[in-house]
Amino acid sequence: MPTPPPKAANRAVDVFRRRGGVLRTREAIAAGIHPRTLYELRDTGVIEAVSRGVYRLAETEWSVDPDLLAVAARVPRAVICLASALAVHELTTQIPRTVDIALPPGGSGPRFRHPPVCVHRFSGESMTEGVESRIADGVTIRLFNAEKTIADCFKFRNRIGLDIALEALRLYRSRRKQDLPALMRYAKIDRVDAVMRPYLEATFS
């Protein structure tokens, strides 16, 4: 493969820097980076493949879990949820083995060789309420807020384990800033308010 002109490589690096250091292949091409230049930068170690079709500058330092960035870049409509969201909110001592994402019903889920992804189907307000966005390394990551995530963990307690939900609730209790009305609102949306109430009373009494 012929080496791209230095100017082309420098321009490509500048594009990556302006975009926060992370680009999908089609975004890079749309920004004027020739595929030949992109692959040469990859082969010389200037950029690294985060996931299939997602690249980052090797000089870029990750500010969040790179697996979350890879998934958010490839599936922008996904919402980080459950154990993965707990980790972001520092409401778990567990290290998630997969990236948990919420998607609406219907359609096939995304396929990843890496990182491993677990798709959970949410519908109605359970899918749309409590979503916040964070921008990290030029990538917008959508995830459920802390209160919504705790309610979701009780909703999916039979799948992820009640112990994870209870630990999240205890860690949330230790925070200075708490929003119990929001927590109960999301519990009602998830239809687990009756399930959560005894644990809330025991934890916050």
In the predicted model, what is the mean pLDDT of residues 62-84? 87
- Predicted confidence at residue 6, as pLDDT, reads 78
Identify the band that residue 1 occupies on the pLDDT scale cut at 50, 70 and 90: very low
Of these ranges, 20-24, 75-79, 97-101, 150-154, the one predicted with the greatest mean pLDDT is 150-154
List b or e across 29-50, with b for residues whose CB sees 16 or more CB atoms inside 10 angstroms: eeeebeeebbebbeeeebbeeb
Write down the pTM of the prediction: 0.72
The 10 Å Cβ neighbour count of residue 101 is 26
- Predicted confidence at residue 61, as pLDDT, reads 62
Place of tokens 């916050």: 204
Round to whole Å and give the CA distance between 108 and 79: 16
Assess contact for 102 and 156: CB atoms under 8 A.
Answer: no
pLDDT in tens, 109-159: 777 777 899 999 999 999 999 999 988 777 889 999 999 999 999 999 999
In the predicted model, what is the mean pLDDT of residues 158-177? 94
Query: Within the chain, where are the H helices?
Result: 6-18, 25-30, 35-43, 66-74, 82-88, 125-128, 146-155, 157-160, 162-173, 180-189, 193-204
Helix (H, G, I), strand (E, B) or coil at 51: strand
- Predicted confidence at residue 88, as pLDDT, reads 92
Q: Where are the domains of the chain?
A: 6-57, 66-204
Position 23 pLDDT exceeds 90: no
Residue 107: CB partners within 8 Å, gap ≥ 6?
A: none
Distance of CA 56 to the CA centre of its chain: 17
Position 2 pLDDT exceeds 50: no
